[in-house]
Amino acid sequence: MKTIIEPFKIKSVEQIRFTTEEERKKIIEDAGFNPFLIHAEDVLIDLLTDSGTSAMSSDQWAGIMRGDESYAGAKSFYTFENAVRKITGDKFIIPTHQGRAAEKIIFSILGGPGKHFASNTFFDTTRANVEFSGSEAHDFLCEIGKHPEQRAPFKGDMDIEALDAFIKKYGKENIPLVVLTVTNNSGGGQPVSMKNIREVKEVCKKYGIPLFLDACRFAENAYFIKLREEGYSKKSVLEIVQEMFSYADGSTMSAKKDALVNIGGWLSLNDDELAMKCRNLLIVTEGFTTYGGLAGRDLEAIAQGLEEVVDEHYLQYRIRSTEYLGEKLINAGVPIIEPPGGHAIYIDAKRFLPHIKPEEYPGQSIVCELYVEGGIRAVEIGSVMFGKYDNNGKLIPSIMELVRLAIPRRVYTQSHVDYVAEVVIEVFKNRDKLKGYKIIYEAPMLRHFTAKFKPV
């Protein structure tokens, strides 16, 4: 087969700034060894997140100019509503300024003390919104998903039996919602199979509990279904997407992911009374129902992005470029979650740095070294992000210690990716020299964003 090429030409470029290793050593120290606190200008290749970092197309920029900025009933809202409805099939489409705003609305209304929510894996903001409402968030990832070294086609699936047992334990009246995260971001960007979505829906239906999709990477998930699940290879991605959403009663979405824009989101649902409550809260916290914290131009860009993201040339390039980086690392012996996920490569820090215990945050150590070695910014997804303390102040580590290299959409070329592989492999060769870190400052919630560290 011939090389899979970037399915676009580059029309506008942004200069990147080079720094020396000496400069980077000082920069990371000044940032408390937390890459979230580095100025983006000091980063050569930014793989911190794929969120809001996409390059927009010329058609999306044209949409920006077309944006109708009327306060109520803007034309751009209806363009957006139609585009989202084409995908979700849902009755009520509520724009929000990003994914977590949609989460805040739905969990404020459905949550509260004594309530329990279940997911394959709650993403960090989603979990935070559940917990902020006073409720508890429970993850039921399938067994294979917990083994980074084992390959399976759908490692994002939910454990159906565990879900059923959970509902019996807490009582359906205390479980307002089940959420399937597609693809499973925190679980390695691994897809959820159509079979699993269908089975989760059946369990939910049996108990009368609604099912929502945390739909951030719905197109990537659909493409994996097309590639890997029997019976889907001849279906279009749009058809697969529509089937995925057909089992859900609603969705929360960060348009900063698979809508190929820099800001935006939505909450979609079918229940009339719930939609009314959500819209009321939207008006108090986000804005009127036809813009929800966004400008008309943003709504246009999202609508156009949703057309482009289900294009199969785009998805082939997208999934292949992530896999390409994964293959290079695997061939050099770097331990990663296998098979590679859709939007990111996840380095398994436990196997990468077996000499650093979870209490000394091996993932953070790799993240700092990638920056110093090559100006690459990645993020720890392990005990810094998910660690909790027991009553004695002892760390309860996360199940996995990962470092995520998230790939922004349509931003970097193959040679950028080659460079990233070279840097990771260099750090891997010198892994014995890496040291652990301790936290010297942390916030009570979502501590990874602002924590400061010191090498031990």
Ligand X SMILES: *Cc1c(COP(=O)(O)O)cnc(C)c1O
Footprint of ligand X on this chain (CB under 6 A)? Answer: 51, 98-100, 123, 125-126, 181, 185, 214, 216, 254, 256-257, 265
**Smaller CB distance to ligand X: residue 51 or 383?**
51
φ/ψ of 342, rounded to 5, equals -80, -50
**Smaller CB distance to ligand X: residue 79 or 98?**
98
Residue 289 CB, shortest distance to ligand X, in Å, is 19
Q: Taking CB positions, which residue lies at the least distance from ligand X? A: 99
Tokens of 41: 């200008």
CB atoms under 10 Å from CB of 1, counted, come to 3
DSSP-assigned states of every residue in 341-389: -SSEEEEEHHHH-TTS-GGG-HHHHHHHHHHHHH-EE-EEESHHHH-EE
Residue whose structure tokens are 């099939």: 89
Longest dimension (CA), the chain: 61
Question: Among residues 186, 188, 185, 184, which one has the least CA distance to residue 196?
Answer: 184
Residue 151 CB, shortest distance to ligand X, in Å, is 22
Residue 52 CB, shortest distance to ligand X, in Å, is 7
> Is-contact 342 191, C-beta < 8 A?
yes
- 3: preceding bond cis by omega (within 30 degrees): no
Residue 182 CB, shortest distance to ligand X, in Å, is 8
**Smaller CB distance to ligand X: residue 248 or 434?**
248
HSE-CB at 153 with a 13 A cutoff on CA atoms is 13
**What's the Cα-to-Cα distance from 92 to each of 43, 95, 205, rounded to whole Å?**
41, 10, 21
Residue 259 CB, shortest distance to ligand X, in Å, is 10
Residue 294 CB, shortest distance to ligand X, in Å, is 12
**Smaller CB distance to ligand X: residue 184 or 365?**
184
**Smaller CB distance to ligand X: residue 33 or 122?**
122
**Smaller CB distance to ligand X: residue 109 or 395?**
109
DSSP-assigned states of every residue in 169-215: HH-GGG--EEEEESSBTTTTSB---HHHHHHHHHHHHHHT--EEEE-
Residue 446 CB, shortest distance to ligand X, in Å, is 11
**Smaller CB distance to ligand X: residue 100 or 448?**
100
